[in-house]
Structure 1
Amino acid sequence: MPAIVVGSGQTGLGTLRCLRLADIPAFVACPAGDLAARSRWYRPTPGETAWDGVCNDAALDLLRRMPLERAVPIPGADDAALWLSRLPDDLRARFPVSGSSTRTLEILQDKARFGEHLAASGIPHPRTFPIRRAADIDTIPFGELDRVFLKPTNSQLFLRATGAKGLWARNRIEMEAIWHRLEAHGLEVLAQEYVPGDATRHYFVDGFRDRNGTLTGLFARRRWRIFPPDFGNSSYCRSVPLKEVGNAVESLERLLAGLDYRGIFSAEFKRDARDGTFRILEVNTRAWWYVEFAARCGVNVCRMAWQDALGLPVQPSPRDYPAGEGCVNLPGDIITVRSQPRAVRGPLHRILAQWLRAHYHVFRLDDPRPGLSVAREILGRLLRRAGRRPRAAAATPGGEAAATDVRTP
């Protein structure tokens, strides 16, 4: 029984490789020329028209006409997970999904509803303030908070419009100016306290919860470097034992049980520098960037999703997976390391030793084309940059110019 990876980029590629590790045949629904399409194991979905991964009414027609008796879709984006939860009855039997109810996914994906649910459940999280009108900004106690930023209720729409995951607001006046620009573009946001501490205080608990409510897979990792700063993705992380994040696991188990969650998840926590509390920041309801890293450490959640969707027994992963394993997104980490002062990053020889021992996010000798395409892209950018005349420095992060830039959706 094949799987269909509904995802692109690093997540789509990682999901495909996870299925390959489990000897599960797979097709990929992604745009032509995507990073995942460069893998040696890539196969487009069958039929007259290959599915590009866009989830809309046309995709429903493609599924109905797809010459497959059955297949298991595995989402690599939040909107794909939500769309699959709404599949019409005539497609559910042919394309079974290991996923949660639409209501559960909406609570976890909508950051305003997520914050309200966490507050009602008593689960440690950053102080969060929904902004539905300008007057709501007046209720935010800026003087009591360490730092404050604006984050979206819908991360994917916000990222496409602003190119960022969040925007700093240094004071009430700046927040009002930013909010008005975002509101004019139809973007709903909330204000959240920034939990103090550097990148190394971010932890992730990834895993799988099956149809019986059993956590068949748990994998913890710690961020060491991030690109871009503050609101980026991990450029280098390491696996850590579950006992190191025990309180985070307890909070996550309570959250998932209360929502009757089913499927793949990746939860981000930050350990508060003030009191050591693990505060939950978000939960991704699908495969994530480093899903292949978890699989290579023995926690293959994509295999679990396939088994669970088909009603098969889900083979649990060991809780004593290798700790101290590293994984690097090399292009981003090179930029991060170059931008950090030595006092922050440590000696360069230690960084090089990390890279030599690490799993690579995209680069793999047994599947070289995705990594080579990234290398060509980086080389092209460097050559284009070398041919340009120097320009004035961009506004500093958190500056008004950077914080208020909104692209036309």
Structure 2
Amino acid sequence: MTAHSGRVGVVLLGGAHGSLAVARSLGRRGVPVTLFASSHSVAGFSRYVGTVVEWVGAAEPAPVERLVEESRHRDYHGWLLLPGDDFGVQLIAENHERLASQFALPVLDWTSLAPLNDKSRLSNLAARAGLDTPRVYQPMSNPADLDYPVVIKPSFTKGTNALTRAKAWRCDNASLFKIKQAEAARLVGANGFVVQQLIPGDGDVQYSYAAYWRNGQEQGHMTALRLRQYPLEFGVSPFVVQRDLPRAADEARKLLAAVGYDGLVEVEFKLDRRDDRLKLIDVNTRVWAWIGLADSCGLDFIGQSYAAATGEPLGPPRVGRKNRVAWRRHVPALLSLAQNVGRHQRPGLAGWQSVLAPALGGVFAADDPLPGLCELPLKIWERLRPSR
């Protein structure tokens, strides 16, 4: 317990839209929130974030020492430490014992989490648990031996570079793959990326399972379709719609039970219509962008995580509305639609729904308007700043 408000608080380590949803959910219930993030994180503009500490993630020279020092200086002892990005997950998990002396930690150690977070190991774990994945090739495979199109992805996101910013590179032929393969090796090393066969299809085949697990047992879950992306092929999901997808739930449970999972989690699949099988794409063992949709569906993943880690129960989310079944970030949804038009493609029903259908706002909120007002300027600044 701390002296801040008589309640155990939360430190959000990195992240943007998911961290914003957590700050609002807990802040509305009187929980003090501190955000460690860069100055352009939209979450830092929320009225529910009491303190913003400048944090450069993987570029921090001594991140663990910084966290411990800030905790002591600001009296955060016993506060819940939640990762909002992939670097935060690995940092906390690899330094679990040391950080546990200062914070309440909801995540497993790195031995348990690494097979879920490292894409080079995820396919092996999936196979042992009985899940399908896209066909995987060795990173330095001979370009002539691949069945195109393929996708190059970073094994995990620990730093920022052209590949991690893009999330994935599509290669439709051996010539392009050879160029991108060499660039990926230069940026992240010969073993720092994975090569997968591309599964065709758009948002109607992009399934997600989201849940809170405790001691290897599911405590509540939801499933959804990630109907839009920006950029169109390998971007963020600005429009997500709740759907009952039993196959996705069953497959995700097999995977998470295999590691005795504990904490918040999103598992991403893609339905391969060529064989009508779900293929595991990714696992997010951190706060994900559209976690606020769970509150709207009557699920309190955030409150469950807080209560389990701190021992302090919370009342229900104040803004939960079960009649809302979609989540939207307006700016990237509009940009996604514009990208369709710019490529002379029809956006389809999902494209128009993404900007017109009733949905929970992923950024704007009537009781917390500043993040919504700042999102577009921040997006412009992010696009215009020099690449590294």
TM bucket normalised to smaller: 0.7 to 0.9
From 104, 122, 125, the equivalent of 1:96 is: 104
1:233 and 2:233 correspond: no
Give secondary structure in 2 for the equivalent of 1:295: helix
Give secondary structure in 2 for the equivalent of 1:234: strand
Q: How many residues align?
A: 366
> How far has the Cα of 1:90 moved from its partner?
5.3
* Paired residue type of 2:12: V
Give TM-score, length-normalised by structure 2. Answer: 0.84
* Paired residue type of 1:7: G
* Paired residue type of 2:239: Y
Could you say if the C-alpha distance between residues 149 and 97 of structure 1 is closer, same or farther in structure 2, counting changes exceeding 3 Å?
same
CA distance in 2 between counterparts of 1:260 and 1:279 reads 21
Q: How does 1:320-335 map to 2 (within 5 A)?
A: 322=322, 325-335=325-335
From 150, 153, 174, the equivalent of 2:152 is: 150
* Paired residue type of 1:181: E
CA distance in 1 between counterparts of 2:12 and 2:324 reads 29
Q: How does 1:241-280 map to 2 (within 5 A)?
A: 241=244, 245-280=245-280
Residue of structure 1 in register with 2:367 after alignment: 366
Could you say if the C-alpha distance between residues 332 and 33 of structure 1 is closer, same or farther in structure 2, counting changes exceeding 3 Å?
closer
1:222 and 2:230 correspond: no
Could you say if the C-alpha distance between residues 140 and 314 of structure 1 is closer, same or farther in structure 2, counting changes exceeding 3 Å?
farther
Give secondary structure in 2 for the equivalent of 1:281: strand
Unaligned runs of 5+ in 2: 1-7, 58-62
For residues 68-97 of structure 1, give each alpha carbon's deviation from its aligned partner in whole angstroms, at most 9, with x where no partner exists. 342111111122122112336454143111
* Paired residue type of 2:337: V
> How far has the Cα of 1:199 moved from its partner?
2.0
1:31 and 2:38 correspond: yes
CA distance in 2 between counterparts of 1:337 and 1:377 reads 19
Give secondary structure in 1 for the equivalent of 2:195: strand
* Paired residue type of 2:184: L
How high is the sequence identity, in percent, across the aligned residues?
Answer: 21
* Paired residue type of 1:201: V
Residue of structure 1 in register with 2:182 after alignment: 180
Could you say if the C-alpha distance between residues 41 and 249 of structure 1 is closer, same or farther in structure 2, counting changes exceeding 3 Å?
same
Give secondary structure in 1 for the equivalent of 2:89: helix
Unaligned runs of 5+ in 1: 385-406
CA distance in 1 between counterparts of 2:99 and 2:301 reads 24
Could you say if the C-alpha distance between residues 171 and 17 of structure 1 is closer, same or farther in structure 2, counting changes exceeding 3 Å?
same
Could you say if the C-alpha distance between residues 86 and 349 of structure 1 is closer, same or farther in structure 2, counting changes exceeding 3 Å?
closer
From 175, 183, 201, the equivalent of 2:205 is: 201
Could you say if the C-alpha distance between residues 169 and 349 of structure 1 is closer, same or farther in structure 2, counting changes exceeding 3 Å?
closer
CA distance in 2 between counterparts of 1:95 and 1:268 reads 29
- Greater Rg by CA: 1
Could you say if the C-alpha distance between residues 376 and 61 of structure 1 is closer, same or farther in structure 2, counting changes exceeding 3 Å?
closer
Could you say if the C-alpha distance between residues 2 and 279 of structure 1 is closer, same or farther in structure 2, counting changes exceeding 3 Å?
same
Give secondary structure in 2 for the equivalent of 1:261: coil
1:52 and 2:55 correspond: yes
> How far has the Cα of 1:33 moved from its partner?
5.3
> How far has the Cα of 1:240 moved from its partner?
1.0
8 Å contact kept, 2:94–2:110: yes
* Paired residue type of 1:193: Q
Could you say if the C-alpha distance between residues 27 and 273 of structure 1 is closer, same or farther in structure 2, counting changes exceeding 3 Å?
same
CA distance in 1 between counterparts of 2:242 and 2:348 reads 19
